[in-house]
Amino acid sequence: MSFMKLVAQKLQTVFPLSEEELLLALETPANEAFGDVAFPCFILAKKLKRSPQQIAAEFAPLAASDWWSVHAEGPYLNFKMNRPRLMKRWFDEQLSGNGGTPSVGGGKRVIIDMSSPNIAKPFGIGHLRSTMIGHALYRILRKVGYETVSVNHLGDWGTQFGKMIAAHLEWGHEIVAADDPIKAYLALYVKFHEEAKSRPELELQAREWFARLEAGDSQALAYWNQFISDSKTEFQKLYDRLGVHFDYVLGESFYNDKMDAAADELERLGLLEESDGAMVVRLDEEELPPCIIKKSDGASIYATRDLATALYRHDVMKGDQLLYVVGSEQSLHFRQLFLVLDRMGKPWAKQCKHVPFGLMRLNGQKMSTRKGQVVFLEDVLDEAVRHALLKINEKNPNLERKLEVAEAVGIGAVVFGDLKHSRILEVDFNIADTVNFEGETGPYVQYSYARIQSLLRKAARQYGDHSAGEINGTSPSDFTAVSSDYGWQLFKKLIAYPEALRQAAERLEPSLLTRYLIDLAQSFNRFYHHERIMTDNAEDRQAKLKLAKAAGQRLQEGLQLLGVQAPEEI
């Protein structure tokens, strides 16, 4: 249900304008005392050859309806909704299954490149963004009708593996990797770069080992496979805690045997040119640097690999749209990649989108793997859970399954705290602020949901199972009891959910849904604090409980779409 749409449909029978034109013109009054929807009559002055004030006064009676009252206010037609009647209509629509969830995907297959940590390197707090933005988009897009496919594009190839092998052979005996292999690998990686400053032969050894790896040397492959196995095991522990799964886990190495075909196609199309010994696709017309396909020594680079990856995802995985949830520092690379695909005559190149995001800092500090300045995500999650447990012990020390709830709240706080920011902005992460039950946080939204469930349980205990059943059954015949300003504000926020979903999907922006959930939780809490819900009048009580239950359902589903749990009790 959309007030704007209802009003536009009525005005279409009154004014010589299309529904689309009317929807563009309709406004929400700045002062709610004027009404819920306003139509500025300026746009009709020339067509009707009358002043906007005259048009408003003349057409106000014609725009009236059983669903609202209309009055002219200067050049505006102001519509004040019949609150109980519209509430009744909306709840009846929900019961009939016409909830209004937008279906804009049309079953199109969207392949989402997300997370993509590097093998033998730590899963740091900075990796959270790609993982959880991608995970949220996976669920949001599926909700609005797309077929979503998630791919974890592991960084399992490149010269760094030559460095890792050389470092492992040189100092591996000094670092016991059994308990925490990834931290051991990080220590080796850092030590390699420190030592290489005074021992340039280490870089030579690293290049030799990577050359052996590329040639299929059994010893090099054995080390490489061990790095991958250890890394996948550690990564999976974190993915399990975050509630993230992937439809495909395909490392960069998967595309090794597919790159030559991509380069050959570029050559056949006459797109490759020589430049300082390298083979490139020139992008001078777009005022961009050339896209390097093969280096001067004949080796391919990640642009070649990403080209082969895109072709595979479209041709073999049958993706209608390809999304890359990758940091904004890679924007130039993806512009080049998509332009090369376009030059190759791939019409679907326009359906490839980079979904960039800003850096994540921890207390203002930027992370660097090479220098060892990494904040492990596991440590951040553990600290967040510890904070959550302290808060729960303060608020509800007798809560059952405290550790389980603290895990849900702590991790939910971290995820929500990331997603509430517009993805393109940098995020400065602070655990104490994030794990807070007040303010615009995940725990605040989770606590609001838990409060609603507590209210419904109390109603069941106090008024019996029949009362609880009525909440789930047919709508009360009269919603006057919830048509006060606080009830109406909550109702308006409830019916805005489909639009919030649609906007989040269209703009690939989970923060829009996060913002909606914060606003909904705030609206419910105002309603809860200002209205007496557990009244003895059965009709009034049922209307209020019905509204509260609907808010809870929205909060639960919205949190689920963001990848955040909604505990029944906190």
Q: What is the pLDDT of residues 218-257, one digit of tens each?
A: 999 999 999 999 999 999 999 999 999 999 999 999 999 9
Answer whether residue 229 is part of any domain. yes
Answer whether residue 72 is part of any domain. yes
- Last residue in a domain, options 81, 103, 123: 81
Q: What is the pLDDT of residues 407-418, one digit of tens each?
A: 999 999 999 999
Q: What is the pLDDT of residues 56-105, one digit of tens each?
A: 999 999 999 999 999 999 999 999 999 999 999 998 888 666 566 888 99
Judgement on whether residues 166 and 70 belong to the same structural domain of the protein: no
**CA atoms 389, 394, 395, 401: torsion sign:** positive
Q: Which three-class secondary structure string do you get for 107-125?
A: CCEEEEEECCCECCCCCEH
CATH of the domain at 73: 3.30.1360.70
Answer whether residue 32 is part of any domain. yes
% of the chain with per-residue pLDDT over 90: 80
The mean pLDDT of 338-367, rounded to a whole number, is: 88
Look up residue 141 and give its two tokens.
């897009």
Answer whether residue 539 is part of any domain. yes
Give the containing element (helix H, strand E) for 353: strand 352-354
Answer whether residue 543 is part of any domain. yes
CATH of the domain at 498: 1.10.730.10
Domain interval for residue 186: 160-242
The answer to whether residue 369 scores a pLDDT higher than 60 is: no
Answer whether residue 141 is part of any domain. no
Q: Are 140 and 504 in contact (CB under 8 A)?
A: yes
Judgement on whether residues 76 and 164 belong to the same structural domain of the protein: no
The answer to whether residue 373 scores a pLDDT higher than 80 is: no
Q: Are 466 and 460 in contact (CB under 8 A)?
A: no
- Last residue in a domain, options 30, 47, 81: 81
pLDDT of 368 = 52
Judgement on whether residues 50 and 166 belong to the same structural domain of the protein: no
pLDDT-derived band at 125 (thresholds 50, 70, 90) equals confident
Judgement on whether residues 52 and 191 belong to the same structural domain of the protein: no
Q: What is the pLDDT of residues 177-233, one digit of tens each?
A: 557 888 889 889 999 999 999 999 999 999 999 999 999 999 999 999 999 999 999
d(CA 47, CA 495): 34
Answer whether residue 12 is part of any domain. yes
d(CA 62, CA 65): 9
Interior/surface letters 30-51, b for 16+ CB within 10 angstroms, e for the rest: eeeebbbbbbbbebbeeeeebe
Judgement on whether residues 462 and 561 belong to the same structural domain of the protein: yes
d(CA 170, CA 155): 23
Residue 111 Cα distances to 141, 320, 356, angstroms: 11, 8, 16
- Which of the residue ranges 27-31, 374-378, 396-400, 475-479 would you say has the lowest mean pLDDT? 475-479
pTM for this predicted structure: 0.92
d(CA 392, CA 437): 10
Judgement on whether residues 408 and 535 belong to the same structural domain of the protein: yes
Q: What is the pLDDT of residues 282-320, one digit of tens each?
A: 999 999 999 999 887 766 688 999 999 999 999 999 999
Compute the mean pLDDT over every residue in the chain, rounded to the nearest whole number: 91
Q: What is the pLDDT of residues 445-457, one digit of tens each?
A: 999 999 999 999 9
Judgement on whether residues 59 and 168 belong to the same structural domain of the protein: no
Judgement on whether residues 402 and 539 belong to the same structural domain of the protein: yes
Q: Which residues contact 311 (CB under 8 A, 6 or more apart)?
A: 258, 261, 262
pLDDT-derived band at 465 (thresholds 50, 70, 90) equals low
Judgement on whether residues 63 and 170 belong to the same structural domain of the protein: no
Judgement on whether residues 168 and 70 belong to the same structural domain of the protein: no
Question: Phi, psi (5° rounding) for residue 2?
Answer: -135, 120
How many structural domains are present in the chain?
A: 3
Look up residue 400 and give its two tokens.
């059952």
Judgement on whether residues 560 and 421 belong to the same structural domain of the protein: yes
Answer whether residue 93 is part of any domain. no
- Last residue in a domain, options 81, 108, 138: 81
Task: For residue 14, give the 3-state DSSP assignment.
Answer: coil
